[in-house]
Amino acid sequence: MSKPTSPAASDSPAFVIPPAPPGSARAQTVRDLNTARSLVSFPVDKLSNIIHGSPDVMKRKKELLALIESDPVFSKANRHHGSREDRMLRSMQMSKRLIEIRDAHKLSDADMWTLRALVDETIVITLHEGMFLPVLRSQCSPEQAKYWIPLAEQYKIIGSYAQTELAHGSNLSGLETTATYIQETDEFEIHSPDITAAKWWIGSLGVMSTHTLVQAKLIINNKDYGPHPFVVPIRDPETHVPFPGVRVGDIGPKMGFNLIDNGWILFHKYRIPRTNLLMRFSQVTSKGQYVKPPHAKLAYSGMVFVRTNLVRMAANALAKAATISVRYAAMRRQFTVVNTAKQQIGMRSSDETPVIMYPMVQARMFPRVAEAYATLFTAQEIESMYHDMMHRLESFDVSTLPAVHANSSALKSYCTGLALDGIEELRRACGGHGFLMSSGLPYLMANYSPNVTYEGENQLLTQQTARYLLKQLHKHQTQSETLHPMVEYLELVSLGGIKAQCTGVSSPTDWFNPSVQRAAFAHRAARLVGELAHQISHEGIPFADLNVECARVSVAHSQFIMVSSFHNTLHKLLKQDASMAVYPALKLVADVFALSEMLKNVGDFTEDGYLSQAQVKCLRQAFKTALHDMMKDAVGLVEAWGYTDYELDSAIGRSDGKIYEALLQRALDDPINQKQGGKGVAKGYQEYIRPLLKGERAPVKLAKL
């Protein structure tokens, strides 16, 4: 029964995928993607310019891509196979090569950011570039800058930024590492009192750094001045062996980011010169005198910059996942149901249905596309606030710092969460293939994942936002201070607006009115801030008992800002002739975003009677219509971001539509298959499989059972 009789078949070791037969599912995917492109209602390049600011960005990206695309060092083939050691070696190799390319072509910092984004790996020099250098630039005194910065820029030293400790992440004031001033030798002694003081998570430290910037409690004459940054040489420049008094290593494999050497370090009474304290803001004199910074919050600007940047990166990451998923949904077909979308497009009822035509797929994917746009336009607003703030700081005007700090924190928290949840939802919406590394989605998700934790844990950040909002409300109510546009809804709290009902909606189309949308988010944010203030001032609940309420307020505030930012952007576009062709499509995206955000938390809008049952019904109907209408533009909306196939590294999101060939080709090229085109015998057969099949059981020590 088990022996087959079989006619001869083509059994050459190399299996070449034959061309797609006409009428096959393979021919269909290519055709479907082109059809989807032909339906797009706007010029994609115009939208691309709005996203990137100018056509030069895309042009430059392509030039830079040409530098690495065919370099085997940067090949993405089999990037998911190697051991952690293999990955670290690749990471070093890529790092070295990038610097060589930089020097040979005299590339700018901006070019290097673009190149690293193309490579799409967080590598062993990423934190040297991303933290070590920026902190040196912002916290060195002029003489220090002259010494350290050229060394770092030329990679004569490699550095990292060591703040977090094994037992203390978010709580900076709980750090245990000390830097004690020793006047006799004019040195600081860096010391880790226990292993819980080990610096931990420090990128570029595990194997690469020659130096690290240590945040340690500054102690002078037994007095603790709190955490300060010190440049600490840790490895011998000639041998790379850690110096006596230093123990340093990698913290081990992670969910993602396995090409970077997140490291740990312990110090044992380790001495550095006094002048290694970064002295732009605070100083210690050789007499052991501490000189305070002119403004306690000046050092915050770096943090604000990073958080602002993370908002834009959230938009990029989400758009990347959306590009893969939406293309796949336009190509993948499943089942022969008949629904309205299929009928409208004139398909036969017997044709299998492109999954993008299912309302459920639209509801899973299109709001994510809209979120990417909303996040981008919000990033653009917060970036210009940041630049204005930096300009003011030059003349020590710190007046806008609290607003920029609070809003960048709220948005870092909300937008990175939105992006991670969105990427994962897009991945799941691709079904089984979304679980394959060759889809590109799991790697994107895993590597994006730490964004919700680093640079301020997302839930923790919401406490700061809430504090800021409470303060603004208090100031407004007691000092009639003019409200910043981003919090102008707080006016409603005092005007009795928190008892309002929505008046602008009596049909679904009313929900497409921007003022109706904005009023709803304003009302809801105002009501929640008002309730929080009431709980503290009238009910006497301690602030620390109100974590969940603070988070709710921060979400409401962030959503208000994002909906407003989108509206502001549309308003600006309306004034530009060149943008008129994309306006209707983007207006629809704005509607999908606003309505989706409202439906996610619809209870917030109904529980106080702001919306009636009929209005919620209209809301759901409007949302459904908007999703349905967005279908024709979906592929154009993702392709406007301009992600190349090299960046996407996705078999199912390919721009040529040949998804099934690509999936199989990746499998054929897999080392496990030993490149024998599906005719080979597995490594391990002799040791493990054959003995099993032949009943050759090894003796097992019979433990007591």
In whole angstroms, the minimum distance from the beta carbon of 462 to a copy of itself comes to 8
Closest CA to 501 of 610, 603, 618, 607: 610
The sign of the CA dihedral 583, 589, 592, 594 is: negative
Selected from 1, 72, 395, 577, the binder of a copy of itself by CB under 8 A is 1
Give min distance, CB of 678 to a copy of itself, in A.
3
What is the identity of the amino acid at 116?
R
Exactly one of 39, 149, 398, 446 binds a copy of itself (CB under 8 A); that residue is 446
Contact with a copy of itself (CB under 8 A) among 24, 108, 507, 576: 24
Separation CA 469–CA 530 (nearest Å): 10
Only one of the segments 37-45, 131-139, 321-329, 429-437 lies at the binding site for a copy of itself (rule: CB under 8 A); that segment is 429-437
Q: Give Cβ neighbours of residue 489 (< 8 Å, ≥ 6 apart).
A: 521, 522, 523, 525, 526, 560
To the nearest 10 degrees (0 to 180), the angle between helices 401-429 and 301-331 is: 20
Q: Among 40, 47, 67, 311, which residue interacts with a copy of itself (rule: CB under 8 A)?
A: 67
Q: Does residue number 12 form part of the binding site for a copy of itself (CB under 8 A)?
A: no
Token duo for residue 541: 């609940």
Check residue 392 for interaction with a copy of itself (CB under 8 A). Answer: no
> Is 597 noted as a catalytic residue in this protein?
no
Contacts with a copy of itself by CB under 8 A: the residue count is 195
Give the footprint of a copy of itself on residues 670-699 (CB under 8 A): 670-673, 677-685, 687-693, 695, 697-699
Letters for 155-194 (x = contact with a copy of itself by CB under 8 A, - = none) are xxxx-----x-xxxxxx--x-x--------x-x-----xx
Q: Is 205 in the site for a copy of itself (CB under 8 A)?
A: no
Answer yes or no whether residue 471 interacts with a copy of itself by CB under 8 A: no
- Residue from 203, 367, 434, 636 binding a copy of itself (CB under 8 A): 434
Tell me if 203 is assigned to a ligand binding site: yes
* Strand order across the beta sheet in which 263-267 lies: 199-202, 263-267, 246-250
164 is annotated as contributing to ligand binding:
yes
Q: Does 109 bind a copy of itself (CB under 8 A)?
A: no
Q: Which two tokens stand for residue 577?
A: 């002739």
Q: Which tokens hold the place of 252?
A: 């081990």
Strand partners, 189: 180, 271
Near a copy of itself in 113-142, by CB under 8 A: none
Strand partners, 676: none
Q: In whole angstroms, what is the distance from residue 62 CA to residue 689 CA?
A: 49
Contact between 196 and a copy of itself per CB under 8 A: yes
**What's the token pair of residue 367?**
């709001």
Residue span binding a copy of itself (CB under 8 A) among the ranges 51-59, 85-93, 485-493, 572-580: 85-93
Residue 455 interacting with a copy of itself (CB under 8 A) = no
Nearer CB in complex with a copy of itself: 137/628: 628
Alpha-helical (H) ranges within 106-227 are 109-119, 126-127, 133-139, 142-153
- Single out the residue of 55, 273, 485, 504 in contact with a copy of itself (rule: CB under 8 A): 273
573 is an interface residue for a copy of itself by CB under 8 A:
no
CB of 286: closest distance to a copy of itself in angstroms? 14
Inter-residue contact 451 to 310 (CB < 8 Å)? yes
Listed as own residue / partner, the contacts of 547-550 with beta carbons closer than 8 Å and 24 or more positions apart are 547/459, 547/463, 549/466, 550/462, 550/463, 550/465, 550/466, 550/467
User: What is the rounded CA–CA span in Å between residue 404 and residue 367?
Assistant: 27
If one asks whether residue 17 binds a copy of itself (CB under 8 A), the answer comes out as yes
Binding span for a copy of itself by CB under 8 A among 8-16, 299-307, 370-378, 471-479: 8-16
Listed ranges 30-38, 289-297, 309-317, 604-612: which one lies at the site for a copy of itself (CB under 8 A): 604-612
Closer residue to a copy of itself, CB minimum distance, 267 or 377: 267
- Strand-pairing partners, residue 232, are 212
Other C-beta atoms closer than 10 Å to the C-beta of 404 total: 25
Q: Would you call 271 helix, strand, or coil by DSSP?
A: strand
Which residue among the candidates 455, 549, 597, 639 is catalytic per the annotation? 455
Site mask, a copy of itself, residues 409-428, x = CB under 8 A? ---------------x---x
Q: How would DSSP label each residue in 601-648?
A: THHHHHTTSSS-HHHHHHHHHHHHHHHHHHGGGHHHHHHTT---HHHH
15 binds a copy of itself (CB under 8 A): yes
**Residue 40 or 208 with smaller CB distance to a copy of itself:** 208
Binding mask 310-339 for a copy of itself (x = CB under 8 A): -----------------------xxx-xxx
Residues 337, 343, 346, 352, Cα dihedral to 10°: -10
277 DSSP β-pair partners: 230
Length of the chain equals 705
Helix (H) or strand (E) holding 73: none
Selected from 48, 95, 160, 558, the binder of a copy of itself by CB under 8 A is 95
* Paired sense of beta strands 178-182 and 223-233, if any: unpaired
Contacts of residue 544, Cβ cutoff 8 Å, sequence gap at least 6: none
Piece of 50-58, 96-104, 278-286, 371-379 that binds a copy of itself (CB under 8 A): 96-104
Site for a copy of itself in 217-246 (CB under 8 A): 232-233, 237, 239-246
Catalytic residues, by residue number, are 455
Binding-site positions read 164, 203
Binding-site positions for FAD read 164, 203
